[in-house]
C-alpha cells in the first residue's frame, strides 16, 4: 500500500504567524505518526518562514516512522541533512523566494550537479529522491544521477482533475511506467487532496509514498487531525 507522509510545514507557518510555540510543531509530528501517518515530511527554507532548522533537529530523535527532509541542496541544507540523517532527502529546485514548489528538476541540464549531490547523500547512507515533472525523458535522465527515487510533481494533475480526471492522470501514468521500467522508486506530491487522491493512486498503485501537507492540514481544521489522517489513509487503501 502507498504510504502517507504528512508535511507539517503549515503547522509551523501558523506558529510563526504569531510567534511563540503554539501550535507546537514537535507535538504535531508526534501526533501525526500516532494517528497513523507512515512518514513525516518537512521542507526547511533558507528564511525559515515555516519549518526552522532547529525544528528539524528536534523532530528527528522522536520520529519512529520515516522522516523525509525536502529542499534545495544548498550547502546549509546539506549540512543539516548530514547532521540529522533522515531516512530520505527529496531534492527540490526551489529558488529561495519561492512561496511553494512550482516545478520539478530539469535533470538533463542539472545532471552533473545532481549526480555530485546525490553521491554525497548516498555515501552518508541517506535515500534520495528527485522532485520531477511527469516527463519520461527527464525521468530517464534522473536515473543517470544515481537517485533512488523520483517524486512526481502533481499540481498539474490536481488542476486538471476537476474537468477531466483521465486526461489529467495520463501523463503521470506514462511517467510512472517509465520510472518503474528503469528501476526507480516512485513518490508523488503537491496538491493531492481528499478529492483527487484515490483516483491518482488507483491509476498508479505502485507509488511508494505520497507527501501531503497543505490540503491535509487545511482539512484538519474542519475534521480534526486524527480523523483527517485516517480519511487520507482510507483514500490510499484502494483494495
**pLDDT at residue 239, rounded to an integer:** 44
pTM confidence score: 0.94
How many Å apart are CA 185 and CA 180, to the nearest integer?
A: 7
Q: In this structure, are residues 170 and 199 in contact, taking their beta carbons and an 8 Å threshold?
A: no
Q: In this structure, are residues 112 and 146 in contact, taking their beta carbons and an 8 Å threshold?
A: no
How many Å apart are CA 210 and CA 197, to the nearest integer?
A: 9
Q: What is the largest CA-CA distance in the chain?
A: 49
**pLDDT at residue 94, rounded to an integer:** 80
**pLDDT at residue 98, rounded to an integer:** 59
Q: In this structure, are residues 170 and 193 in contact, taking their beta carbons and an 8 Å threshold?
A: no
**pLDDT at residue 96, rounded to an integer:** 62
What does the block give as the cell for 187? 513518490
Residue 155 CB-density burial (10 A; 0-12 exposed, 13-18 middle, 19+ buried)? middle
Q: In this structure, are residues 91 and 117 in contact, taking their beta carbons and an 8 Å threshold?
A: yes
Question: DSSP for 153-201?
Answer: E-HHHHHHHTT-HHHHHHHHHHHHHHHHHTT-EEEEESS--TTTHHHHH
**Fold (topology level) of 3-236:** TIM Barrel (3.20.20)
**pLDDT at residue 1, rounded to an integer:** 87
Digit-by-digit pLDDT tens for the chain (239 residues) are 899 999 999 999 999 999 999 999 999 999 999 999 999 999 999 889 999 999 999 999 999 999 999 999 999 999 999 999 999 999 999 866 655 566 899 999 999 999 999 999 999 999 999 999 999 999 999 999 999 999 999 999 999 999 999 999 999 999 999 999 999 999 999 999 999 999 999 999 999 999 999 999 999 999 999 999 999 999 998 64
- Residues tagged active-site: 43, 70, 190
**pLDDT at residue 187, rounded to an integer:** 98
How many Å apart are CA 131 and CA 235, to the nearest integer?
A: 23
The residue assigned the cell 547523500 is 121
Domain ranges of the chain: 3-236
Amino acid at each position: 500500500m502507498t504510504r502517507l507522509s504528512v508535511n507539517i510545514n503549515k503547522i509551523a507557518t501558523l506558529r510563526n504567524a504569531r510567534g511563540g510555540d503554539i501550535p507546537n510543531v514537535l507535538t504535531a509530528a508526534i501526533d501525526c505518526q500516532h494517528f497513523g501517518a507512515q512518514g513525516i515530511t518537512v521542507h526547511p527554507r533558507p528564511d525559515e518562514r515555516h519549518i526552522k532548522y532547529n525544528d528539524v533537529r528536534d523532530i528527528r530523535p522522536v520520529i519512529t516512522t520515516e522522516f523525509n527532509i525536502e529542499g534545495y541542496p544548498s550547502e546549509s541544507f546539506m549540512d543539516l541533512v548530514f547532521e540529522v540523517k533522515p531516512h530520505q532527502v527529496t531534492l527540490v529546485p526551489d529558488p529561495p523566494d519561492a512561496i511553494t514548489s512550482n516545478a520539478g528538476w530539469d535533470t538533463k541540464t542539472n545532471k552533473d550537479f545532481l549526480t555530485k549531490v546525490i553521491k554525497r547523500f548516498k555515501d552518508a547512507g541517506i535515500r534520495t529522491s528527485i522532485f520531477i515533472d511527469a516527463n519520461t525523458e527527464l525521468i530517464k535522465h534522473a536515473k543517470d544521477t544515481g537517485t533512488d527515487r523520483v517524486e512526481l510533481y502533481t499540481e498539474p494533475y490536481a488542476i486538471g482533475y476537476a474537468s477531466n480526471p483521465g486526461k489529467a492522470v495520463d501523463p503521470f501514468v506514462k511517467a510512472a511506467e517509465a520510472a518503474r521500467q528503469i528501476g526507480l522508486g516512485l513518490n508523488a506530491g503537491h496538491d493531492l487532496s481528499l478529492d483527487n487522491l484515490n483516483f491518482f493512486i488507483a491509476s498508479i498503485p505502485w507509488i511508494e509514498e505520497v507527501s501531503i501537507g497543505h490540503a491535509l492540514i487545511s482539512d484538519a481544521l474542519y475534521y480534526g487531525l486524527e480523523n483527517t489522517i485516517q480519511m487520507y489513509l482510507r483514500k490510499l487503501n484502494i483494495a
